[in-house]
Structure 1
Amino acid sequence: MYVPPFEITPKIIDLISKISEKIGEINSLESSAHHVELRRESRIKTIHSTLAIENNSLSLEQITAIINGKRVLGAPNEIQEVKNAIQAYDLLLSLDSTKEKDLLRAHALMMKDLVRNNGRYRSGGVGIFNGQNVVHVAPPASSVPALMKDLFRWVKRTDIHPLVKSCVFHYEFEFIHPFQDGNGRLGRLWQSAILKDWKKVFAWIPVESLIQKNQAKYYRVLRACDATADSTAFVEFLLLLILKAAEEIVQNEKRVTVKVTVKVTVKVTVNQKKILEAVKKNPHVTLDELSKKIGISRKSIAANVKKLQEAGMLKRNGADKNGYWEIVG
Structure 2
Amino acid sequence: MSQWPAAQLHSATVENELWRSWDDESPRTITAAQTVPPLVAGLAIPALEPATGEALAEATRAVGDLREHAARTTGVLGHLSAVLIRADAVASSQIEHLTTSSEALAVALADLRDDDPDRSPYPVATELVAANVTVALSAQRGTEDLTEDWFHRRHRSLLAAVPELERRHLGAWRDCAVWIGQTRQSADFEGPPWDQVPVLMDDLVRFAARSDVHPVVHAAIAHAQFETIHPYVDGNGRIGRLLIHRLLDARPATATAPVPVAHGLLHNPTGYVDGLSAYRNGDLDNWIAVFATAVTDGAHAAVRLVNRIDGIAGDYRQRVRTREGSAVSQILDGLLGTPAITAGEIQAAHKLTPGRASQILHQLADAGIVRLSDHRAGRARVWVAHEVIDAIDTINATIPRRLLDTSNPSGGGEIGSGDE
State the TM-score bracket (shorter-chain normalisation).
0.7 to 0.9
Q: 1:212 to 1:102 in 2, by over 3 A?
A: same
Alpha-carbon distance in structure 2 between the residues aligned to 1:183 and 1:122: 11
Determine the structure 1 residue equivalent to 2:61.
Answer: 18
Change in 2 beyond 3 A, CA 1:87/1:37: same
Q: Which residue is equivalent to 2:243?
A: 190
User: What are the within-5 Å matches in structure 2 for residues 1-329 of structure 1?
Assistant: 2=40, 3=43, 7-8=47-48, 9-26=52-69, 28-29=71-72, 32-71=74-113, 73-76=121-124, 79=127, 82-83=130-131, 86-87=134-135, 89-92=137-140, 93-97=142-146, 99-112=147-160, 114-115=165-166, 116-128=168-180, 134-157=187-210, 159-199=212-252, 201=254, 204-226=258-280, 228-258=281-311, 260-261=313-314, 264-265=317-318, 268-270=320-322, 276-277=332-333, 279-286=335-342, 297=356, 301=360, 304-305=363-364, 307-309=366-368, 318=374, 321=381, 324-327=384-387
SS at match of 2:386: strand
In the TM superposition, residue 299 of structure 1 has moved relative to its aligned partner by 7.6
Residues 179 and 5 (structure 1), Cα distance of their counterparts in 2 relative to 1, 3 Å cut: farther
Normalised to the residue count of structure 2, the TM-score between the two structures is 0.63
Residue 260 of structure 1, CA deviation: 4.0
Question: Structure 2: how far apart are the matches of 1:258 and 1:245?
Answer: 20
Which protein is richer in helix relative to its size?
A: 1
Check whether the contact 1:135–1:219 (CA below 8 A) recurs between aligned residues: no
- Write the distance in 1 (CA, Å) between the matches of 2:210 and 2:329: 51
RMSD: 3.9
- The one-letter amino acid of 1:121's match is W
How many residues get paired? Answer: 322
- Whichever of the two has the greater Rg, that structure is 2
The amino acid that maps onto 1:37 is H
Relative contact order (alpha carbons < 8 A, sep ≥ 6): 1 or 2 greater?
Answer: 2
Which one-letter code corresponds to 1:234 in the other structure? Answer: W
* Aligned-pair CA distance for 1:11: 2.2
Q: Output the CA distance in 1 between the equivalents of 2:179 and 2:158.
A: 20
User: Deviation string for 1:103-157 (max 9, x for gaps)?
Assistant: 3343344334644222322222212459x99542222223323322333333334
CA–CA separation in structure 1 for the residues paired with 2:170 and 2:345 = 39
**Length-normalised TM-score, structure 1:** 0.77
Change (3 A) 1:247 1:300: same
Deviations 1:268-305 (A, max 9, x none): 43388777545435433346766885887578547644
Structure 2 portions without partners, runs of 5+: 1-38, 114-119, 391-420
| 3-state SS of 1:252 partner | helix
Label 1:252 to 1:27 Cα distance change in 2 as closer, same or farther (>3 A).
Answer: closer
Is 2:93–2:132's contact at 8 Å kept on the other side of the alignment?
A: no
Cα distance, 1:84 vs. partner? 6.8
Q: Would the aligned equivalents of 1:35 and 1:253 in 2 still touch at CA under 8 Å?
A: no
